[in-house]
Chain A
Amino acid sequence: MKKFPLIIAFLLMNVYASVGQERWYTKEAKVSFFCDGSAENIEAYNNKGFMVIDVPTGKIEISVLMKAFTFEKALMQEHFNENYVESDKFPKAIFKGTIKDPENIKWTTDGEYAVEVSGDLTIHGVTNVITTPAKITIKNGVPVGDATFIIALADYNIDIPKIVEDKVSKNVRLVVQTSLNPFVKQP
């Protein structure tokens, strides 16, 4: 009897936790990168992006390892890591934001939901606030996320050398596409 209140407290906390912490995650988000140029288009793919969505708060976080981007040409990949984003110094790109009006999404009902996502995007050690339209599709109870970020390289202190300045676009498209798994708290 002496420990009764303690047990109750524990139970209550756990119930609260399981209701309040519905989360979805993936470690295999597809993040692609496109930069149009007059000489050649540059594109790179990465399927090792991390993403977590917290349903009650609408918080969304994505992180991607710069070195995991694969380019068609090895030299492009080397230049990307060495000269442009300096992957040794800034290994990850991170987005931490929120879904606007998350209550509009019915996570248990199949359907498509157009949403707006805004938050801090950090690339090359520089953080900018960014807002972008996104789509969440619930299919068979599993959410699939889709978002495109259009970013200006200059906003992230990524220098384009003078000699190639005319050949590549100053903006790049970052496309995130992934299905998510239910997050179960590890014991």
Chain B
Amino acid sequence: MTFLRKLIPILLTLLFYGITAKAQDDDLLSLIDDDSTTVEHVTSAFKSTRVINSHSIESLSSGVLDFRIMHRFGRINTGAYQLYGLDQATIRLGFDYGITDRFTVGFGRGTYYKELDGFLKYKLLWQSTGAKTIPVSLVLVSGMTVNGLKWADETRKNYFSSRLGYYYQILIGRKFSDVFTLQLGPTMVHRNLVATKEEHHDIYALEAGTRIRLSRRIALTADYFYIPPNQLDSRYGDVFSVGFDIETGGHVFQLHFTNATAMNEKTFITENDGKWSKGDIHFGFNISRVFTLSSKKRKMK
């Protein structure tokens, strides 16, 4: 019995050594492989820096210039005489540039109100895994718009500041999987000049945007701006857009249907009189073409 009592721990020890040695031989990499040292940022939550009308949580990489053509045809319910809206066009041309991987600036000009707009966009939190797990991305957007139309009444005293509008947005989004991304964006618009005394200068809205990937190069996208009631004239309302992102090499084509004509936050949030229920739907597209202007920063040391 005493012999057995001594033997058991020895056998157990041998067994233990045998197991660990075997495990190591099967997988050498497991000896050094731990993901705790690297932070991996989640990329391509959206295919583009815009969902459709709204900014997305995606930013441009540093040194990348994005030339964007946003185009909306007229309303489908204008009938055959207007070729279901295709006879009309509203356009915004813009340039966005990535100063760093987190900081993008951009400007553009749209035919609607001959409006010039510029924005700053900063990714404060970047969804990541590994050493630092951050469940969501948080992006701050601040924009400004300048109405370029001639003064409606040239005889009265007009101020340049009356042309200005501002928008501020906090986008919180998460890429839940390779297929599905969702973002929410509380938004505030401020207008220096409003049409009537009853209208508010500050308008609050909530954006929701999503991307559902259908194949490697095609995704379904939608964005919605909910505008809580009693802020705007009753003619104006929510903005809803739905479409597809199609990617080909250096271009991203975004084809969609929307009830908004304008293409910057200030205008489509506060003055959208299109209603899906009435058929005030526009066919539209955004084309994004990126150019790598500075690749120095990307080279490995």
The contact of A63 among B33, B63, B98, by CB within 8 Å, is B33
Indicate the member of B32, B62, B250, B299 with the most A CB atoms within 10 Å: B32
Are B17 and A65 closer than 8 Å at their CB atoms? no
A-B contact count (CB 8 A): 98
Q: Is the CB of A54 closer than 8 A to any CB of chain B?
A: yes
Q: Is the CB of B13 within 8 A of A13?
A: yes
Question: Cβ of A83 and Cβ of B64 under 8 Å apart?
Answer: no
Q: Is the CB of A52 within 8 A of B40?
A: no
User: Are B40 and A94 in contact (CB-based, < 8 A)?
Assistant: no
A82→B300 contact, CB < 8 A:
no
Taking CB atoms, residues of chain A closer than 8 Å to B24 are 21
Answer yes or no: A169 CB below 8 A from chain B CBs: no
Q: Select the stretch in B112-120, B277-285, B290-298 that faces chain A.
A: B290-298
Cβ contacts under 8 Å, A127 to chain B: none
B40 / chain A contacts, CB cutoff of 8 Å: 65, 67
Contact A48 B38 (CB under 8 A): yes
Q: Is there a chain B Cβ closer than 8 Å to A9's Cβ?
A: yes
A32 to B298, CA, bound (A): 15
Judge whether A6 and B25 touch: CB under 8 Å: no
Among residues of A, the one whose C-beta sits closest to the C-beta of B301 is A47
Interface residues on A, range: 35 or more
- Whether A5 sits at the interface, judged by CB under 8 Å, is yes
Let me know if B6 and A5 touch, CB within 8 A. yes
Q: With an 8 A cutoff between CB atoms, is B29 at the interface?
A: yes
Residues of B within 8 A of A154 (CB): none
Instruction: Judge if B248 is at the interface, Cβ distance under 8 Å.
Output: yes
Chain B residues with CB under 8 A of A23: 28, 31
Task: Give Cα A57 to B32, complex, Å.
Answer: 18
| CB–CB B28/A17 < 8 A | no
Contacts of A161 in B (CB 8 A): 217
Tell me the smallest distance from the CB of B214 to a CB of chain A, in Å.
Answer: 13
Q: Tell me if A45 is interfacial: C-beta within 8 Å of chain B.
A: yes
A11 CA to B7 CA, complexed, in Å: 16
Contact check: which of B25, B216, B217, B295 meets A57 at CB < 8 Å? B25
Q: Decide if A78 touches B43 in the complex (CB within 8 Å).
A: yes
Q: Is the CB of A6 within 8 A of B13?
A: yes
Residue numbers in A under 8 Å from B17 (CB-CB): 13, 17
A52 touches B44 (CB 8 A): no
B194 at the interface (CB under 8 A from A): no
Q: Which residues of B contact A52 (CB under 8 A)?
A: 28-29, 31-32
B115 to chain A, nearest CB (A): 29
Residue A75 CB within 8 A of the other chain: yes
Residues of A36-75 at the interface with B, using a CB-CB cut-off of 8 Å, are: 45, 47-48, 50, 52-54, 57, 59-61, 63, 65, 67-68, 70-75
Whether the pair A73, B248 counts as a contact (CB closer than 8 A) is: no
- Whether, in the assembled complex, B79 has its beta carbon less than 8 Å from a beta carbon of chain A, the answer is no
Chain A residues, Cβ within 8 Å of B298:
70-74
Tell me whether B32 and A54 are in contact (CB under 8 A): no
Query: Beta-carbon contacts of B25-64 to A below 8 Å, as 1s and 0s?
Result: 1011101110001101001100000000000000011111
What would 24 A/B residue contacts be, using CB atoms closer than 8 Å?
A: A2-B6, A6-B10, A6-B13, A9-B14, A17-B21, A48-B38, A50-B32, A52-B31, A61-B28, A70-B298, A70-B299, A72-B299, A73-B295, A73-B298, A74-B60, A74-B298, A75-B64, A75-B250, A82-B43, A86-B216, A88-B177, A89-B178, A159-B216, A163-B248
In the complex, besides A9-B13, A61-B29, A83-B247, 5 extra interface pairs with C-beta distance below 8 angstroms are: A5-B10, A23-B28, A52-B32, A78-B43, A82-B216
Q: Which residues of B contact A (CB under 8 A)?
A: 6, 9-10, 13-14, 17, 21, 24-25, 27-29, 31-33, 37-38, 40, 43-44, 60-64, 98, 177-178, 216-217, 247-250, 290, 292, 295, 298-300
